[in-house]
Amino acid sequence: MLAASLLVGLLNGSMVRFLGFTSIAATLTTYIALQGASLLLRPQQGGFIKTDVTNVIQTTVGIVPVAFLVAVALGLVLEWCLRRTRWGLNIRAVGSREQAAHRVGVRVDRSVIGAYVACSALTFLGGVMLMAQIGVGSATQGVSYTLTSITAVVLGGASLLGGRGSFIGAMLGALLIQQVINATTFLELSQAWQYWLTGLLTLVAAAIYTQARSRESRL
């Protein structure tokens, strides 16, 4: 699983840097291809994940899952790396102004491809968490997270144009989405409301950040 995820990240990064694909086009293309391959391998749910494995992943400290604590700790470490290390500064520089980053000596191709590989490695960890939750082999369980993942980072303050974003913000965005889902369930609203409210929040957040970026560019 880890090897496959790293290979996908390398493929996505290479498509963006060397074949001229946009980020959205590259990731959606590989997503569709992988979804088709997974349906060929597992057209229906089947097989069970060993309980020894799921029990380890679902270990708790009191009422708090260890996986949650690990996710928070990892997010904090990555946030620090994004702000304080050369690796993080290079990524932010390339996302903000690629040409300027190149002029000051940043290896743009390596930074971009490395970011895609790192993203795929984190996706692998998310897949392991999902595997422990469902407990069976299924090719369609991750489909609903495609747009939700974009929504989480937008709500967390990231710019789809690059140059701005944070790991902590993405986690808070995911937490907000989960609270929306919990609220609609508590209020006994239909599942459609989850999509409507999430979409509305995304539009509002994107509009606010776009206006803020426009004002900054004029200044």
pLDDT tens sequence across 123-163? 999 999 888 888 888 888 888 788 788 888 888 888 776 67
pLDDT at residue number 164: 77
Judgement on whether residues 85 and 130 belong to the same structural domain of the protein: yes
What three-state secondary structure class fits 219? coil
Give the CA angle between residues 202, 26, 4 to the nearest 5°: 105
For the chain, list residues with pLDDT below 70: 161-162, 212-219
User: Domain limits at 159?
Assistant: 144-219
Judgement on whether residues 21 and 78 belong to the same structural domain of the protein: yes
Judgement on whether residues 155 and 76 belong to the same structural domain of the protein: no
Judgement on whether residues 148 and 100 belong to the same structural domain of the protein: no
Helix (H) or strand (E) holding 67: helix 66-84
Its pTM stands at: 0.86
pLDDT at residue number 215: 67
Judgement on whether residues 87 and 18 belong to the same structural domain of the protein: yes
pLDDT at residue number 190: 84
